[in-house]
């Protein structure tokens, strides 16, 4: 699904669904109160967001992993493996695992370093500790109470912020911002802060700004492209292509985490041929394509770059100040 438009305003639908939001919040509170909390004995850094949809957690997790490695640590990623069939704990193997088995995001994380999936996050954390990691990067775990975090970071899309500020289904929030900010020590705002989110962040939360930067922009400069994406906000991808001076002659949206069928890609290839254009998608989408169809499709490679890299490094160092 894509985020509905009414999540960005406090119109009739948002107000009508507000009572259901209270049920969602009650369910989350019950889960938090009844789930035993476990600490694996190594540091746990958690990245997540308060909202549904793509805020940029995966590139943020990759950037934090690079910082940890630069500081001499041995980080392993822990993901739920959303969309995959394997329940885990399972260490992702890039030579054999597919997105159908482990999900798309773990495959991207595994390109950077050891990555595990586990629907039971506590079991996954135990496995990672046993494998020799000194720090776990927990991807999308802010609302999971089963693992105790040493340091939690909320990732925020600067363009959309928190939408209408309401909890699902009346808005995009997984929990209230008051509840969310009580859990985190830092916030990463990706892109220009168009909704004034930085003014609403409590004083105890360190705020860092960052940008999603294309790593291969020259491949698309002046090129006609047919773009497609099955991510939380496809328009972000299309805008990145435009920023590379690509000419998007057609674009097709799919549901987030969509598993592509050969016929769908063949239709897109036909559209690209009709326009004399290249077919291009995201790295996250590419891993969900049938292997035989991946070679003829270009991807825009991205990375997160902090405006204050020194600052984020220094605050991460404090996580280890008192040892493991």
Residue 53 among known ligand-binding residues: yes
Residue pair 244/214 in contact by the 8 Å Cβ criterion: yes
Ramachandran class of 156: left when φ > 0, alpha when ψ lies in -120 to 50, beta otherwise: beta
172, with CB counted inside 10 A (0-12, 13-18, 19+), is buried
Question: Is the bond preceding residue 89 a cis peptide, omega within 30 degrees?
Answer: yes
> Taking Cα atoms as reference points, which of 227, 257, 230 lies closest to residue 239?
227
Residue 56 among known ligand-binding residues: yes
Tell me how far apart the alpha carbons of residues 265 and 67 are, in angstroms, rounded to a whole number. 37
Q: What is the dihedral of CA 27, 46, 260, 102, to 10 degrees?
A: -100
Residue pair 194/158 in contact by the 8 Å Cβ criterion: yes
Residue 52 among known ligand-binding residues: yes
Cα 53 to its chain centre, rounded Å, is: 8
- Binding residue positions for ATP: 51-58
- Binding residue positions: 51-58
């Amino acid at each position: 699904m894509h985020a509905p438009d009414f999540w960005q305003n406090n119109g009739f639908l948002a107000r009508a669904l507000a009572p259901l939001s209270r049920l969602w919040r009650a369910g989350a509170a019950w889960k938090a109160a009844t789930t035993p909390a476990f600490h694996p004995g190594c540091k746990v850094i958690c990245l997540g967001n308060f909202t549904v949809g793509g805020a940029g957690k995966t590139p943020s997790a990759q950037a934090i992993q690079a910082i940890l490695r630069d500081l001499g640590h041995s980080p392993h990623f822990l993901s739920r493996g959303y969309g995959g069939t394997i329940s885990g704990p399972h260490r992702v193997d890039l030579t054999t695992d597919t997105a159908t088995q482990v999900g798309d995001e773990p495959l991207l994380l595994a390109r950077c370093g050891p990555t595990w999936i586990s629907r039971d996050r506590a079991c996954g954390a135990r496995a990672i500790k046993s494998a020799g990691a000194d720090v776990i990067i927990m991807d999308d775990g802010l609302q999971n109470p089963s693992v105790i975090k040493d340091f939690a970071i909320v990732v925020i899309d600067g363009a959309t912020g928190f939408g209408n500020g309401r909890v699902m289904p009346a808005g995009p929030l997984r929990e209230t911002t008051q509840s969310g900010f009580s859990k985190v020590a830092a916030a990463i705002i990706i892109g220009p802060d168009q909704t004034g989110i930085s003014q609403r962040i409590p004083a105890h939360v360190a705020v860092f700004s960052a940008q999603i930067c294309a790593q291969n922009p020259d491949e698309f400069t002046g090129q006609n492209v047919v773009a497609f994406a099955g991510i939380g906000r496809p328009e972000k991808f299309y805008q990145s292509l435009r920023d590379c001076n690509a000419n998007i002659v057609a674009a097709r949206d799919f549901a987030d985490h969509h598993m592509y069928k050969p016929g769908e890609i063949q239709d897109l290839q036909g559209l690209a041929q009709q326009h004399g254009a290249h077919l291009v998608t995201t790295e996250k989408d590419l891993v969900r394509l049938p292997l035989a169809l991946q070679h003829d499709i270009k991807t825009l490679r991205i990375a997160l770059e902090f405006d204050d890299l020194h600052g984020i490094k220094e605050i991460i160092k404090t996580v280890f100040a008192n040892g493991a």
